[in-house]
């Protein structure tokens, strides 16, 4: 089975590739946000503890998140079900705690796979989105300026949401870089980091990922 961490900036196409890998490798995509909501809904011990922090507007501590992940991954181990972690770990302490958790399970992470896209390309992709004021439809103009001033669906005026503006995007990327660079170095030192070229169309990126996964040790 494969135990994978997926890393990549906003706009890297990480979600799309995770979905493709799910099909190709019969893997489960683990979203810690979904898991957390499920624990809270079921009012499990971990869910109740998590809730105490969330009710105060605080972040859920890493040990609770790891507790939740430990539970679900052990279930997957017993079924020999491959899994992909998307959106976790986000920080170095989380990465360390995760590897510690796997060590206790006496299993090994297959790889931390980084979808590598140059920052200028991420900015181009992220800032290409325009939204219709009238119907909310979105349209991508990769050169940054809309070719048409109005919405193709309804003729409404197109505008750029604050989230999609260059300044906001540069800030998001700065935060991403600050959190992720130590993670990348950490997995690199552990010999677990694999980089896939994320510049190109989804098919060629998927082929690059397949090539890497082919050569990973299966346990």
Q: Which residues bind Zn ion (CB under 5 A)?
A: 132, 134-135, 137, 151, 153-154, 156
We find the least distance from the C-beta atom of residue 162 to Zn ion, in angstroms, to be 19
Let me know if 90 is a catalytic residue: yes
We find the least distance from the C-beta atom of residue 154 to Zn ion, in angstroms, to be 3
Q: Given the complex with Zn ion, which of 44 and 134 has the nearer CB atom?
A: 134
Let me know if 161 is a catalytic residue: yes
We find the least distance from the C-beta atom of residue 87 to Zn ion, in angstroms, to be 31
Let me know if 71 is a catalytic residue: no
Q: Given the complex with Zn ion, which of 92 and 137 has the nearer CB atom?
A: 137
Would you say the C-alpha torsion 78, 79, 82, 84 has a positive or negative sign?
A: negative
Q: Given the complex with Zn ion, which of 156 and 200 has the nearer CB atom?
A: 156
Let me know if 20 is a catalytic residue: no
Let me know if 14 is a catalytic residue: yes
Catalytic residue among 37, 161, 174, 190: 161
We find the least distance from the C-beta atom of residue 158 to Zn ion, in angstroms, to be 8
Q: Which residues are catalytic?
A: 14, 90, 129, 161, 172
């Amino acid at each position: 089975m494969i135990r994978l961490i997926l890393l990549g900036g906003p706009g890297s196409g990480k979600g799309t590739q995770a979905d493709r890998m799910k099909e190709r490798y019969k893997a489960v995509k683990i979203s810690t946000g979904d898991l957390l909501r499920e624990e809270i809904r079921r009012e499990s011990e971990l869910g109740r503890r998590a809730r105490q922090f969330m009710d105060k507007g605080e972040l859920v501590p890493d040990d609770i998140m790891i507790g939740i992940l430990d539970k679900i991954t052990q279930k997957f181990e017993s079924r020999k079900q491959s899994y992909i972690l998307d959106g976790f770990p986000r920080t170095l302490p989380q990465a360390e705690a995760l590897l510690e958790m796997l060590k206790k399970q006496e299993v090994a992470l297959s790889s931390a796979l980084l979808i590598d896209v140059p920052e200028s390309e991420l900015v181009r992709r992220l800032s290409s989105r325009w939204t219709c004021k009238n119907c909310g439809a979105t349209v991508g103009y990769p050169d940054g300026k809309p070719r048409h001033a109005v919405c193709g669906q309804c003729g409404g005026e197109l505008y750029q949401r604050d989230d999609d503006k260059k300044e906001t995007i540069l800030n998001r990327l700065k935060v991403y870089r600050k959190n992720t660079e130590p993670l990348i170095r950490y997995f690199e030192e552990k010999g677990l980091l694999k980089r896939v070229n994320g510049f190109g169309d989804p098919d060629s990126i998927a082929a690059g990922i397949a090539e890497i996964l082919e050569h990973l040790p299966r346990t």
